[in-house]
Structure 1
Amino acid sequence: MTQLPASSRLRRGRFSQANGIHLLTANTLDREPLFSDWRVGRLVVAQFRHEHTQGSVNSLAWVVMPDHFHWLVELQSASLDKVMGRTKSLSARAINRMTDRTGRRWQKGFHDHALRREEDLKNLARYVVANPLRAGLVNRVGDYPLWDAVWL
């Protein structure tokens, strides 16, 4: 049996539905720790906020780690592919401008996990924002600058 490339396997079965809740994850190209510089990470945060204010998603929680991000969203007026395409494209442009570089900054594709309404979203949000603590980047979640959650 022929194995599909990872990016194609990630897309198989993806379903975008308004008001659907998804945990989205994207990795930097070659897992480069671009966001160890928090100023660069804030460019991704700005794109999250842009998608929220434009009404594409309702951002519930997010964390930008040195080489990836997790973003818990409720879809509003756009599909997963559109939201992630814009987020990765526009943040890559901003990153390249800030760092005086060119080229791709993100791995192809992204991972998404659709959640059921009855799942404990607050606990998932806590899990998302505690990533820096589990990774040993900080001693307290509040010491890490690149996270937020509507419940915390």
Structure 2
Amino acid sequence: MANTHKRLKGRCPTINTFYTVTLCCDSRKPLFVNYLNARLIARELALFSKSNSLNTICYVIMPVHIHWLLQLNSDSNLSNLIRNLKILQLINLIKITELTERYGNQIIMTTK
């Protein structure tokens, strides 16, 4: 992204501050039209919030992006948190896609 360093200059996340984050799919692919993908992302957001000292206030999963309102509970680096979440989501989306391609609709019945 052009001029990212300028936008990030002087930014320092603080405890108990609210942040709104938008996570976009690569090439605007509608990954979250698929119910399993959207459900997986919702579960990941909940688990990630519990394990990373932040509160998820609310989120909206759209077909090509996610809007996420969160509150930091520690002096964690917001950029690193977002990067880690995106990595986890990507890994799990790849796994669920491979399983769905391999077993078809049966995966719907086995995932919880």
Scaled by the length of structure 2, what TM-score is found? 0.76
Q: Deviations over 1:8-64 (max 9, x none)?
A: 455344321111110011100001000000210122212211122124211101011
1:88 paired residue among 70, 86, 103: 86
More displaced 10-residue stretch of structure 1: 27-36 or 40-49: 40-49
Q: Deviations over 1:59-88 (max 9, x none)?
A: 101011111001000011322112211110
Unaligned runs of 5+ in 1: 102-152
CA separation in 1, counterparts of 2:52 and 2:92? 21
Unaligned runs of 5+ in 2: 100-112
Evaluate the alpha carbon distance shift between residue 31 and residue 61 of structure 1 in structure 2; reply closer, same or farther with a 3 A threshold.
same
1:25 matched to which residue of 2?
Answer: 22
Q: How many pairs were matched up?
A: 98
Task: Give yes or no for the alignment of 1:53 onto 2:53.
Answer: no
Cα RMSD (Å) of the superposition? 2.0
Percent identity over the alignment is 26
More helix by share: 2
2:108 matched to which residue of 1?
Answer: none
Is the 8 Å Cα contact of residues 51 and 83 (structure 1) preserved in structure 2?
A: no
1:144 matched to which residue of 2?
Answer: none
DSSP-derived class of the 2:57 partner = strand
CA separation in 1, counterparts of 2:50 and 2:16? 16
Task: Give yes or no for the alignment of 1:41 onto 2:20.
Answer: no
